[in-house]
Amino acid sequence: MNATNLRFLSVLLAAVLLGACGERLDLEVKARIDGQPAAQATVVVDREQLGVTDAQGVFAKQLRKKAGAEIDVTVSKEMPGYRIEPWKSTVLVKLPKDGQAATYRLDADLKAMRYVTFRVSEKDAPVPGAKVTVGGKEAGVTDDKGEIVYLYRQQPAKGAELNVAKTGYGAYRALRQFEPGQVIEVALNRQAVVAIKALTDEYGRASGVPGLSVSIDGNIVGKTDAKGAYTYTYRGAPGKKAVIALAAPGYIPAAWKTTVRLEGPVNLQRYFYPTTPKPIRIGIYRVVGNTPGVDLTEVAAQTEQALAAQLFKFPGFREVPSEKLQAEVKQRKLNIERIAAKGWQDTPLRASVDMIVLGSVAKDDDGYLAEAKFHTASGKVIFSEIARARSARGIDGAVREIVNNVIERFPFEGTVIGAEEDRYRINIGRNWRIGRGTEFTLTTPTFAEGGKVSGYRETGRMEVKRGDDASSLAEVATLKKGEKVQIGDRVVRSREGEGGDQRTYFLLTAKGGVGTDVNPLAGTNVYLNGEWKGATGVNGQAEIPLRLGRNYTLLLYRHGYQQVTGKVSVDKSGEAREFVLAANNALFKVDSEPSAASVYIDDEPVGKTPLAGGKTVTLGFHSVRLTYGEDYRDFFEVMEFTKKEEDRTGERRIVLQKDFLKLGERARQKGDIDGAIKAYAAAGRGHPDYAEARR
């Protein structure tokens, strides 16, 4: 092979090798951030880092790539205080013209966000959950370390308005200049929020005292609301001492003040007692029969009317009409037996009634027994009276006897409102049947956490020496060691045999039940010689005061059970006696339309309709609820059981009504407006949803 051929082969081989390496191209990248050159930006081509931009933000390099290939170019940069999004692009390699290397110029505009860290603390302790706002826009809340990272592109030339706030702390406001990466320390001070609660306590029911003037350092700042509450926010420098005062005309004390340090949350609670007690709001729920097989409807109605007519002549009692009370109990679907036993302190009913009277009449061989039982909002039977009538004509006289005994023996509560030499002024007098010789138990409140009155502790006994119309003067009869009489102490009119260090009693246990089940019977009233001595508790027991060695006529009465009478005499204090009361039962049969509805009596499930065999319940009031589900409303009613059998089957079955509000709302959510209107319109005048469906 001659030299010419060798030269040709060399040129051909070089051409083949160059073709395999690809076309020559010049790559030029200009990186910018906010229009300014981005130096030291990293340039990556097809996942291979080729270098970084110079001081002018420029990177240039010659590459070889096959024509028709796509190359991926990524430009990225890291800077303290910045979060920079990598710039990416794809370039298609074209065939060169006239053998000249192609030049590819790329402008990489990097999108950058600056950031600063806000660190919020209070006395060097992190404050989590603080709300941060920059320039009027919410940035977020601080984490457990009290920090939040704030991202921004640019800040105003004069700086950004920074606000930091958290409940219980003074707000932070400032105009700040941000430097990317900067940690901005924000120190919060605990804000003084003074929460004031003015309360009173009567017959075991705590309630707020509205309208009391609140002043701070002599300046009136507001009044307590309907719940006796007032909240004051102090925005000044923390740690300042201030005098908080409440003016309570007509209460004991008439004025009260205390000094507090205005820093962080400050909770104040104070009990006040009226100089003139308010009438007790009493509602007679119903008087019902308590003898199976005997129709006592008319006698019960006569007893109820006479009780209302006589009881509310006394100025210390204010009537809550029975119709109103019954309607509210029904509207709120309350179980009257349950709220009477456990109270209604935590229900909306507390706003309208202080005590509820449940009445009962029974018939035996000697005529009629009528009982009126007083329940407080805390669920306690505070008093009960019973009387006998030989015939229906004697009911009015028996009720008159009951009311007279209630007024003469009721444990009225009063307050020590002043001291006059060695005597003490009490805020109830002759208007409340308090006169010379009336005895009071003296008590002082015990407080639980937060200053709430948890109960009263007996400290002694007092005896009235002179009764005026609106108040009375009493002397201390006995006072326990270490105790003293204080203004604001509570007094309770006592009955014979109550309290005192020499108190003697016997332990009575009452049992009863439905069917063959016999269990401790709560709420059994105990009468000795016709005078109420107490009621059994949840364990069926009660300590009944009496004098040792004396014979008493005993009567145990509990609605829904047969009364027990007998004689009792006790020789040793603390002796135990047990009695069993036979249940007065009714058989409840019920069916519904549609059938197979779940039946609940006093919130206890008893089966599904039809209950053809019936369910045994005691006479009296029981809440009955039927629920079917699907598109039907629940049925709820407080029923009075007075007969041996209550049959709600056949024509008297319970017809469940469609829930047209539910049907209409479902159609509305589906966009079926015509269907919704049709459903609402289907609720006729007699339907429970009638008023609501037409709003």
CATH label of the domain that carries residue 458? 2.40.10.410
Quickly state the pLDDT bin for 58 (edges 50, 70, 90).
Answer: very high
**CB burial class (10 A; 0-12, 13-18, 19+) of residue 350?**
middle
Q: What is the pLDDT of residues 241-295, one digit of tens each?
A: 999 999 999 888 889 999 998 887 888 988 888 888 889 999 999 999 998 888 8
Q: Looking at the predicted structure, is the pLDDT value of residue 118 above 50?
A: yes
Quickly state the pLDDT bin for 240 (edges 50, 70, 90).
Answer: confident
Same domain (yes/no): 403, 299: yes
Mapped to the 3 state alphabet, what secondary structure does 374-399 carry? EEECCCCEEEEEEEEECCHHHHHHHH
pLDDT (average), residues 17-37: 79
Which of 581, 600, 631 is the last residue before a domain boundary?
581
Please answer whether residues 184 and 118 qualify as being in contact, where contact means their C-beta atoms are separated by less than 8 angstroms: yes
Give the predicted TM-score (pTM) of the model. Answer: 0.65
Q: What is the pLDDT of residue 618?
A: 85
Please answer whether residues 526 and 544 qualify as being in contact, where contact means their C-beta atoms are separated by less than 8 angstroms: yes
Same domain (yes/no): 246, 284: no
Q: What is the CATH number of the domain that holds 64?
A: 2.60.40.10
Q: What is the pLDDT of residue 692?
A: 65
Q: Looking at the predicted structure, is the pLDDT value of residue 577 above 80?
A: yes
Same domain (yes/no): 405, 310: yes
99, two tokens: 């053998």
CA distance 498 to 496: 6
Same domain (yes/no): 561, 631: no
Number of independent structural domains in the chain: 7
Q: Sign of the CA dihedral 628, 629, 630, 633?
A: positive
Same domain (yes/no): 398, 428: no
524 inside domain: yes
The answer to whether the bond into 594 is cis (omega within 30° of 0) is yes
Query: Which residues lie closer than 8 Å to 677 by C-beta, 6 or more apart?
Result: 664
Q: What is the pLDDT of residue 248?
A: 93
237, two tokens: 């420098």
Local structure of residue 169 (DSSP, 8 states): B
Q: What is the pLDDT of residue 668?
A: 81
Query: Which residues lie closer than 8 Å to 264 by C-beta, 6 or more apart?
Result: 168, 190, 191, 192, 193, 238
CA angle (491, 482, 447) in 5-degree steps = 55
17 inside domain: no
Q: What is the pLDDT of residue 684?
A: 74
Q: What is the CATH number of the domain that holds 511?
A: 2.60.40.1120
132 inside domain: no
Amino acid occupying residue 293: G
Please answer whether residues 517 and 548 qualify as being in contact, where contact means their C-beta atoms are separated by less than 8 angstroms: no
CA distance 15 to 4: 17
575, two tokens: 């002796």
Tracing tokens 């008319």 back to the chain, one arrives at 298
Radius of gyration of the chain (CA): 43
Please answer whether residues 628 and 600 qualify as being in contact, where contact means their C-beta atoms are separated by less than 8 angstroms: no
Q: Residue 692: enclosing H or E segment and its boundaries?
A: helix 690-693
CA angle (262, 266, 270) in 5-degree steps = 120
Mapped to the 3 state alphabet, what secondary structure does 174-227 carry? EEECCCCCCEEEEECCECEEEEEEEEEEECCEEEECCCCEEEECCEEEEECCCC
Instruction: Give me the percent of the chain exceeding a pLDDT of 90.
Output: 57
**CB burial class (10 A; 0-12, 13-18, 19+) of residue 389?**
buried
Q: What is the pLDDT of residue 682?
A: 78
- List, edge to edge, every strand of the sheet that includes 42-45: 48-52, 42-45, 70-76, 87-92
Q: What is the CATH number of the domain that holds 618?
A: 2.60.40
Q: Looking at the predicted structure, is the pLDDT value of residue 639 above 90?
A: no
Which of 539, 563, 581 is the last residue before a domain boundary?
581
Q: What is the pLDDT of residue 693?
A: 59
CA distance 351 to 334: 15
Same domain (yes/no): 295, 396: yes
131 inside domain: no
Strands 183-187 and 102-122: parallel
Residue 362: closest CA among 388, 382, 342: 388
Q: What is the pLDDT of residue 584?
A: 87
Quickly state the pLDDT bin for 15 (edges 50, 70, 90).
Answer: very low
Buried b (16+ CB within 10 A) or exposed e, 160-179: bebbbebeebbebeeebebe
Same domain (yes/no): 400, 511: no
Instruction: Give me the percent of the chain exceeding a pLDDT of 70.
Output: 93
234 inside domain: yes
CA distance 422 to 405: 32
Q: What is the pLDDT of residues 595-621, one digit of tens each?
A: 999 999 988 899 999 988 899 888 888
Q: What is the pLDDT of residues 493-531, one digit of tens each?
A: 987 555 555 679 999 999 987 656 788 998 999 999 999
Q: Residue 304: enclosing H or E segment and its boundaries?
A: helix 297-311
Same domain (yes/no): 97, 26: yes
61 inside domain: yes
> Could you tell me the residue range of the domain that residue 90 belongs to?
22-76+84-108
Same domain (yes/no): 359, 255: no
Q: What is the pLDDT of residue 515?
A: 56
Secondary structure class of 661 (helix, strand, coil)? helix
**Beta bridge partners of residue 103, listed in sequence order:** 26
Query: Which residues lie closer than 8 Å to 274 by C-beta, 6 or more apart?
Result: 200, 250, 251, 252, 415, 427
Longest distance between any two alpha carbons in the chain, whole Å: 155
Q: What phi and psi, each to the nearest 5 degrees, are found at residue 554?
A: -100, 135
Please answer whether residues 279 and 316 qualify as being in contact, where contact means their C-beta atoms are separated by less than 8 angstroms: yes
- List, edge to edge, every strand of the sheet that includes 255-262: 219-223, 213-216, 240-247, 255-262
CA distance 334 to 23: 90
Which of 274, 292, 326 is the last residue before a domain boundary?
274
pLDDT (average), residues 29-52: 93
Query: To the nearest whole number, what is the mean pLDDT of the chain?
Result: 88
Tracing tokens 């005590």 back to the chain, one arrives at 355
pLDDT (average), residues 538-559: 94
Residue by residue, DSSP assigns 393-436 as GGHHHHHHHHHHHHHHH---EEEEEEEETTEEEES--GGGT--T
Q: How many residues does the chain have?
A: 695
Q: Sign of the CA dihedral 325, 331, 335, 341?
A: negative
Please answer whether residues 73 and 63 qualify as being in contact, where contact means their C-beta atoms are separated by less than 8 angstroms: no
Same domain (yes/no): 479, 538: no
Please answer whether residues 95 and 23 qualify as being in contact, where contact means their C-beta atoms are separated by less than 8 angstroms: yes
Query: Which residues lie closer than 8 Å to 247 by C-beta, 6 or more apart?
Result: 212, 213, 215, 254, 255
CA distance 571 to 549: 5
Same domain (yes/no): 673, 616: no
CA distance 228 to 220: 16
The answer to whether the bond into 253 is cis (omega within 30° of 0) is yes
Query: Which residues lie closer than 8 Å to 332 by C-beta, 6 or more apart?
Result: 347, 348, 349
Please answer whether residues 399 and 306 qualify as being in contact, where contact means their C-beta atoms are separated by less than 8 angstroms: yes
Local structure of residue 20 (DSSP, 8 states): H
261 inside domain: yes
Same domain (yes/no): 298, 393: yes
219 inside domain: yes
CA distance 358 to 337: 9
Q: What is the pLDDT of residue 502?
A: 61
Q: Looking at the predicted structure, is the pLDDT value of residue 314 above 80?
A: yes
CA distance 416 to 428: 9
Residue by residue, DSSP assigns 245-266 as EEE-TTEESSEEEEEEEESSEE
